[in-house]
Amino acid sequence: MSDRLLIIGTVRLPPDNLDAARPVMRRMVEASRAEPGCLEYGYAEDVLDPGLIHVKEIWADQAALDAHFASPHIAEWRAAWPALGIGERDLRVYTVGEARPV
């Protein structure tokens, strides 16, 4: 099995914009999960820090991730950032091997 790509990190938006952001984030998550090579994709609100969204993605390979970055739904997501107040992003990509239970 080849190495997979794990993207993990956070994005931040004003807590008052969360209600407006949820449907946009939902469309992004659902479209991304439907992509070939997407093994996992999710956003989660931090329970202690309102407006902080944790991001976790797992991609089968670089080709799948490249296709994701070129997709129409990522363009829509990025176009929504200014209106939602998303300005602070800290996302990192890691190459990972086989997962095992802890």
Quick one: pLDDT at residue 3? 86
Compute the distance between CA of residue 21 and CA of residue 80 in angstroms, rounded to an integer. 9
Quick one: pLDDT at residue 77? 95
- With bands split at pLDDT 50, 70 and 90, how would you rate the model's confidence at 1? low
Instruction: Give the right CATH number for 4-95 from 3.40.50.1360, 3.30.590.10, 3.40.640.10, 3.30.70.100.
Output: 3.30.70.100
Question: pLDDT at residue 101 above 60?
Answer: yes
Structure tokens at 99: 């997962």
Question: By three-state DSSP, how is residue 99 classified?
Answer: coil
